[in-house]
Amino acid sequence: MIDPATIIIRLRTDPALVDAGVDLLLDHALAQPLRDALGPAEVLTTGVAAALRETAASPGLAPWIERELDELRGHLRTDERPVEAALPPAFPAALAKMLGRPFTPGHELVRAAINHAAMRSMMRSVLQSTLLEFGKKMWSALPDTRKIPGAGFRSRLMDMAKGVASVVGTEVERQLDDRVNTFVDGALADAIDMVIERISDPKHSAEMAAWRSDSVTELLHQPQVRFVTELDKIAHTDVAADAVALLQAIAEWEELEASLRAGIERLEEALGERSLAELLAGSGIIEAWRPLVRERLADRARSLITSEAFSGWIARVVEDLPTSS
């Protein structure tokens, strides 16, 4: 019978063996067709659907999410420095350039995003407030014509108008409110259409691109603590409850298996017979990342082979092997 202790000693004292094993693992992972790594579509579909349903039904899921969010919040720094100070110097400009490339979304998609009750309510409120304020300022800005030569009659008319307004100011404001509200209700649909047309018109793509670019630049100028403060406005209990509700909605979907199966089959079709190495060929990703991955895997492997659990596993592997004659 093969002595498991001998195997363990060899592995623990010969680093080259561990490194060779890691290389074997990496070479196998890179050479294996990716669709084979997924496994049979039917088996994967059934397993994923079952795992989703079991996870969604777990009574400990919501408390776990809440605890983890609390833990994460405790590690967030309340730094007064701007966000860009924590980024590579050239990163903000590169990001702004990316977002600043011209792009025009489709007309119907913009309408679906904008033309709904909440947006109409917000625009109605903005338009009403703006027009009311404008009307009141225009009325209060009526000029005093008494000192204008030859304007006696007009001046008296203006004074009369102002005098009446001062006596019945509340009534005037009420009528102004009514007229503004009536106007806004009639113009709201046109205003929303104008917004939709502007966003989805290629003629304004440069303007919208500049808006995106300027927005990210200004956001990166903001102090980091400001974003942390915004996170504090969100109750972790609500986030946990919403996350579970979303997962349950997926788990209870009658079309879950069919949708998963269709998605996996489309992925398999896209991958074909390509391996990970073939997929990444020419990108430089393998060459750049393999040394680091190899080092970390080898480190973990050396930690594993020094454990009692590994010794027990090796003993189980060799205990029933026949001895050579």
* Predicted TM-score of the model (pTM): 0.79
17-40 pLDDT, tens digit per residue, is 999 999 999 999 999 999 988 889
Across the strands, what pairs with 82? 223
Report CA 61 to chain centroid distance, whole Å: 22
What number of H helices and E strands is found in the chain?
A: 17, 0
304 contact partners, CB below 8 Å, separation of at least 6: 310
Between 118-122, 174-178, 233-237, 303-307, the lowest mean confidence (pLDDT) is in: 174-178
Backbone angles phi, psi at 247, to 5 degrees: -65, -40
**Tokens read off for 83:** 């966000």
Summarised one tens digit per residue, pLDDT across range 97-119 is 999 999 999 999 999 999 999 98
Among candidate residues 163, 166, 158, the one with its CA nearest the CA of residue 142: 158
Q: What is the pLDDT of residue 324?
A: 56
